[in-house]
Structure 1
Amino acid sequence: MKRNDLPSLLLLPFPPDPSNRQLLDAAYRPPLTAALSRLKNQGGAAKLIVAVACPVLHGQFLRSKTLSWPTAQALVAGIYAVISVVCAHLSIATEMDGGPGSVDATVVLVDHDRNKRISEDFRPAIEPNNTVVVDLATFTTAYHPWNLVFHVRTELGLQLYQTFLKFAEGKQTLVQEQLVPVEGGLTMNTAKKDATTVPPQTSGHPVVCLGGTFDYLHPGHKLLLTAGALLLEVPRKDSAQSCRYIIGITGDELLKNKKYAEFVQSWETRARNVIDFLARILQLSDRGWKDVTRPQIQEQDGDFQASFRNGTIHVQCVRIQDAFGPTITVEDINALVVSGETRSGGQAVNDRRIEQGWRALEVFEVDVLDAEEISDEATKTENFASKISSSAIRQQRAQAKSETKI
């Protein structure tokens, strides 16, 4: 694989605490703007992993970690919102396989405590816990090689960068031109850290479900899929059990009346893109992506499946032809992830399950990507919505096709 075909990495240090959209924008817009601008100008379709290092996990034991789902998904949502606003201003396509000049960005939470000392003889290894989030040592062991590594030129950013380089020794030889310092933003940390400030922790679930069209996979889709993955309770690798992540994907027949329906991606393409995206969060190998460029998918008509982390995580994409999908055909689903637009659908699902004598699902609602929460008047633009709307992306492709015929 050529170096320019590899993904690049942006290391983002420790978010503001307390945090909101405006503070995340102040902290992260400058480095995101620098990295996205550089990758856009490479010419091809670039990939960027945005690794946010923060103490997101809690627990005394390595294999017994927990997280606060509301806090974690809000952080991911806030960063995807900043990415979307920046890309709207820079005219960068954000969807997967967006073509030349596009940047396919993925936000990955990385557990890291900057106050934890590292012994001189420490050797990083892959150490999964019972969540999908990994620590910095595991991240550097499993995520490599890189095209470019962007690091923030602040005190905390440089500390994170030096720790990353220590962990990454022996995984990839990075030359100076691949290491790109970028300016950091303003980060304020005013919260006092003690045992009482740990937010309520969220119980993991062995079977999580969500649904959508996932046409031209964009930041809104990525947030939804990541939020669902954060709810998984991942068994130990020596366990005979596995957790299941079921994604209902709307069938082609139901999309015939969509705007610019002729540009809707096929169900098979959408399902493959969902699994390819989830691989960036779920796949762990000490050889990184040297051997595996795409996950192995078992493909049947309307049912695509893949396994990750030695079979402890099983992903299943199923074709759905109605509003309920597998939620009323698979009894052992535990949790349902919805967006603000599909909130009422969650109640309808539980009503049907109760009618069938099944237990109701625990419903989790994902934050929305909203430019108005983080932007001043000059940046409240319709372009933001167009960059994260599948229908607008189809419109852009239709217009591009018509222009080539002129």
Structure 2
Amino acid sequence: MTTTSNPDAPFPPSHDVVDNVMLLSTLPNLRTPHFLIPVIDHAAKSARKRLIIVLFSRHFNVQYSQKDPLKKEYLTFPEISSLSRTASWDAVQRLLTFIYVQATKVAYGLNNVLMEIDVLLKGFNEDVDPNIGNSMDICFRVTGDSIATPLPESVKLLRQAYLRPGEREMEPTMSSIGTPNLSGHTLPPTYPVTALGGTFDHLHSGHKILLSMGAYITSKKLIVGMTDDVLLQNKSNKHILQSFPVRKENVRKFLNMFKPDIIADIVPIDDVYGPTGWDPDVQALVVSKETVGGAEAIEKHRAEKNLPPLQPFLIDVISATSASLDHEDVNFLKEHKLGSSYIRQWIVDNNKQVEKEEARLKEETTS
């Protein structure tokens, strides 16, 4: 692949496949960024093992002020540009899902199901991890895009290549929806303590959307209830299941990368409640469509124990029936479901195929 540092250069003519790829892009607003489809496609096809996508927007700016964030006179201009995390919940989960699905579709299409894909959201008033470029082989940028925040030396030292985006829709910038419209929105911008739960086996895009959104609305601590090994004995291909320590470490590493300034409290659970069954400090609960029943049980249990009610937040775009996804993405989710069961079955089938190929080659060499 021809690599260039010229921001006006066309697409590199061919794919130079490397192990680890980084893609950086600025978002003009929180609408679905269809213009990034060809860019993500190229970046994902260039990666063997890992793809990190970092999306920058002033609407992800961090509000550092300890004063009331609703009183804008206390905030700096970059902080005023940020969005209420709870008010932007729907837009951000649609955005994250769109990006993850585009990259995952490419990886699955190349039968590279185990490729690690991470999507990070960064404001212009926060530091990027100085080590984020370590172990990366190339950094893709979007032609014409100027990122309004200093990039760490580990990124600057990478080989740079600019990719032309797809056609941009004619739409207003975030001037109309850039700052939170608080009329009718009564929830606080973030919650100090949020909880969510899951198995998190072979951490995949669906898990990362759930974890990202939980961290997105959390200011201090995210409690992750992780299903203990004892409860996973009836899972399909259980011999492929990762152990609790491995699953815990994978979740911890991801959360530390996505939002390092919050506490990731990852605890084993052997019932539907976990810490939400007794911890009065939890204020919010992130659930998927598949776990809504569990959220209702938690609500009833907390009422019986005279614990404060939890504000629920629903992740609904991962569902294959989501009306917010494009038709192609819906079909992809119907087939693959972004699930651990699919991944474990793929590992089993792939191992069989590898063994079959090795046996064939051995037979040829001995005949």
Query: Under a length normalisation based on structure 2, what TM-score does the superposition of the two structures give?
Result: 0.76
Residue aligning to 1:210? 196
- Paired residue for 1:325, among 257, 274, 294? 274
> Equivalences for 1:373-384 in 2 at 5 Å?
373-376=325-328, 380-381=331-332
1:150 and 2:158 correspond: no
Deviation of 1:225 (Å): 0.3
1:70-85 maps to which residues of 2 (within 5 A)?
Answer: 70-85=90-105
- Unaligned 5+ runs, structure 2: 1-16, 62-71, 183-187, 357-367
Query: 1:30, 1:184 within 8 Å by CA — same for their partners in 2?
Result: yes
Q: Tell me the distance in 2 between the aligned counterparts of 1:396 and 1:192.
A: 42
Whole-angstrom distance in 2 between the partners of 1:364 and 1:381:
24
Question: Percent same amino acid at aligned positions?
Answer: 27
Q: Tell me the secondary structure at the aligned position of residue 380 of structure 1.
A: helix
Matched, 1:262 2:211: no
Which of 198, 205, 221 pairs up with 2:179?
198
TM-score after normalising by structure 1: 0.69
SS in 2 for 1:139: coil
Q: What corresponds to 1:368 in structure 2?
A: 317
Q: After the TM superposition, which parts of structure 1 deviate over 6 Å for at least 4 consecutive aligned residues? A: none
Aligned-residue offset at 1:330? 1.5
Contact 1:73/1:227 (CA < 8 Å) preserved in 2?
yes
Q: In the alignment, what sits opposite 1:53?
A: 56
Q: 1:220 pairs with 206, 211, 215, which one?
A: 206
* Aligned counterparts of 2:29 and 2:55: Cα–Cα separation in 1: 12
CA RMSD, aligned part only? 2.9
Q: Which residue of 2 aligns with 1:132?
A: none
- Contact conserved, 1:10 with 1:50, CA < 8 A, in 2? yes
Instruction: Output aligned runs, 1:5-404, within 5 Å.
Output: 8-14=21-27, 19-20=31-32, 24=33, 26-40=34-48, 46-57=49-60, 60-61=75-76, 66-67=84-85, 68-93=88-113, 98=114, 102=115, 104-112=116-124, 135=125, 138-139=127-128, 141=130, 143-145=132-134, 146-153=136-143, 155=144, 157=145, 159-160=146-147, 163=148, 167-168=150-151, 170=153, 174=157, 178-191=159-172, 193-194=174-175, 198-200=179-181, 202-233=188-219, 243-283=220-260, 309=261, 313-369=262-318, 373-376=325-328, 380-381=331-332, 385-386=335-336, 388-404=338-354
Return closer, same or farther for 1:355/1:190 CA change in 2, 3 Å cut-off.
same
Amino acid at match of 2:42: A
Render the CA deviation track for 1:258-312: whole Å, top value 9, x for unaligned. Answer: 11112111111111111011121123xxxxxxxxxxxxxxxxxxxxxxxxx4xxx
Quick one: distance in 2 between partners of 1:282 and 1:7? 21
Which residue in the other structure is 1:293 paired with? none
CA drift at 1:170: 5.0
Conserved in 1, the CA contact under 8 Å of 2:278 and 2:307? no
Q: Distance in 1 between matches of 2:353 and 2:152?
A: 49
Q: Secondary structure at the match of 1:332?
A: coil
- Rg larger for: 2
- Unaligned runs of 5+ residues in structure 1 are 41-45, 113-134, 234-242, 284-308
Comparing 201-210 with 245-254, which one deviates more in the overlay? 201-210
Q: What is the count of residue pairs matched by the alignment? A: 314
Q: Separation in 2 of the partners of 1:14 and 1:331? A: 38
| Bigger mean CA deviation after superposition, 336-345 or 384-393 | 384-393
